Amino acid sequence: MNSSSSRPKIGLVTCIFLTVAITIGSGIYTSLGLQLLTISHGFTILVLWGLGGLCALCGALSYAELASRLPHSGGEYYYLSKIYHPALGTMAGVITLFAGFVAPISLACMAFGKYLHASFPGCSPLGASIILITLVTIAHLFNLSFSAAFQDVITIFKFGLIALFLYLGFRYAAISPRVLLPSSATWHELLQPNSGVALLFCFYAYSGWNSIAYIADDVTTSQRTVGCSLVIGTLLVTLIYLLLNVVFLLSSPIEELRGVIDVATVVSMHLTGAAGGKIMAVLIAGGLVAGVSGMTWIGPRITQVMGQNLPALFWFSRTSSNNIPWRATLLQYGFIIVVLLTSSFKMLLIATQIPVLICELLGVLGIMVLRRREKKGSVPVNLQMKSQVTGLTSFSHEGRNASLVLFPCPFYPIPPLLFATISISALIYTITTNLQDALWGFLLIALGLVLHPVFKTKFRS
């Protein structure tokens, strides 16, 4: 028995909790205010959030098959390396580390500081952000069992907070539901480029739907469990997001939400008064901890897996006696501190979502590439492998049909094609309206490609 099979692993419930905790982060509590800078109608907002959820679900269905075919940790880094070329894998790894984890963790910490400051004006938002990431990082340096238990507890708290918020919203909301009804103006607004930018904020809020793919080696029966948790978690998140946006729009006038980062604080004050709003702001800040924790737990696994394959990063592949990648964890912590000290919220959000979306798009289209190769009977040797997790052969040695695809993508090829259509449309709209911020995203893509030959080099100690 190899060491990977004997170490502790996490089950379906924790995987679903982790998916929901990571996905429901700062995005749902901050994006609406930024979207309303260019969007004026409640119906448009709900359609965009519904499209974001549909896109995430299509991605989850596609990744469920990828995880079944390629049952190994690493997410886009591993998938793109195996399906396309190691250089694209390295690019995806760099992007995932910075744009997929460092940036979202930083954004969630910024939001935490904003909400805490709303209740305690004397509290420094930056100081609160740094203290939060420091404590959470320390919590994940013990062992996998402690990380799983810690994550489950704070995610249950997060579910309770959301339930309370929805109850208060639907009970005390004072604005007429007519603001959510469509009109000729809303359909026209949906076709404008600004809706594409607003949709990118939704993608940011949904980012995390693919999180379990990064730690597949730590999941029991990963070929099926990873896919199930991706799909179930994404469906739960979509439902929660739509309900929360309904509460936001029915509880506060759009004029008061426009441009506001801490949207939930404004909504809470309308629902429960000034005192209640301050209490809710503290609770929301506490709810953000679950997302910060989940990303802090998963993010270092990307650097660890890259270190196992790229000589220049080998130092970060080392783990503690409890199988914790502590070096990669501390590296991520250092990057987050730098981002917290230097970056603005909106620029960071837009610039990082473009490369993340491109990597996810390549990953989703990967199942079409694999199926086409399989149909031609030319499955690559590197896909005719045994799973390091379950010991099951993923492909037949004859190179024909997949012998054990335990989670084939339902309704194929509709999910990957729909994901590609929505994603490309949002990218085009964003690039045409926010070119300067988009250029930072493409710079990160170029950096990832340039670093591949550097990371392949084995430096002398």
Q: Residue 195: its pLDDT value, please?
A: 80
User: Mapping DSSP to helix (H, G, I), strand (E, B) and coil, where does residue 391 land?
Assistant: coil
Alpha carbon of residue 348 to chain centroid: 15
**How would DSSP label each residue in 178-212?**
GGGS--HHHHHHHTSHHHHHHHHHHHHHHTTTTGG
Dihedral angle of Cα 274, 275, 279, 282, to the nearest 10 degrees: 60
Per the CB < 8 A criterion, the answer to whether 387 and 335 are in contact is no
Share in percent of the chain as helix, strand, coil (round to 5): 75, 0, 20
Cα separation, 43 vs 187, in Å, equals 9
Taken as a whole, the chain contains a residue count of 461
Q: Residue 130: its pLDDT value, please?
A: 95
What tens-digit pLDDT sequence spans the chain (461 residues)?
344 445 678 889 989 988 998 898 778 887 898 889 888 888 999 999 999 999 999 999 999 999 999 988 888 999 999 999 999 999 999 998 888 889 889 988 988 998 888 788 888 999 999 999 999 999 999 888 888 888 888 889 888 989 988 999 999 888 888 888 888 888 888 877 778 778 878 888 898 899 899 988 888 888 889 999 999 999 999 999 999 999 999 999 989 999 887 788 889 888 888 887 788 888 888 888 988 999 999 889 889 989 988 888 999 988 888 888 999 999 999 999 998 988 766 666 667 778 888 999 999 999 999 999 988 775 543 444 333 333 333 333 333 344 456 788 999 999 999 999 988 887 887 788 777 777 888 888 999 899 888 887 754 43
Phi, psi dihedrals of residue 10, rounded to the nearest 5°: -110, 150
User: Mapping DSSP to helix (H, G, I), strand (E, B) and coil, where does residue 404 land?
Assistant: coil
State both tokens at 105: 């963790």
Cα separation, 96 vs 225, in Å, equals 22
State both tokens at 40: 């004026």
State both tokens at 372: 């086409």
Query: What pTM does this model have?
Result: 0.82
Angle between the N-to-C axes of helices 103-119 and 326-342, in degrees from 0 to 180, rounded to the nearest 10: 60
Q: Residue 390: its pLDDT value, please?
A: 33
Cα separation, 294 vs 288, in Å, equals 10
Q: Residue 147: its pLDDT value, please?
A: 84
- CATH assignment, 3-456: 1.20.1740.10
Q: Residue 345: its pLDDT value, please?
A: 64
Per the CB < 8 A criterion, the answer to whether 53 and 241 are in contact is yes
Cα separation, 378 vs 385, in Å, equals 14
Burial annotation 250-278 (CB, 10 A radius, 16+ → b, else e): bbbebeebbebbbbbbbbbbbbeeeeebb
Cα separation, 32 vs 399, in Å, equals 48
Phi, psi dihedrals of residue 219, rounded to the nearest 5°: -110, 135
Owner of token pair 């070119």: 435
Domain parsing of the chain, residue ranges: 3-456
**How would DSSP label each residue in 2-71?**
-HHHHS--B-HHHHHHHHHHHHSSHHHHHHHHHHTTT---HHHHHHHHHHHHHHHHHHHHHHHHHHHHS-
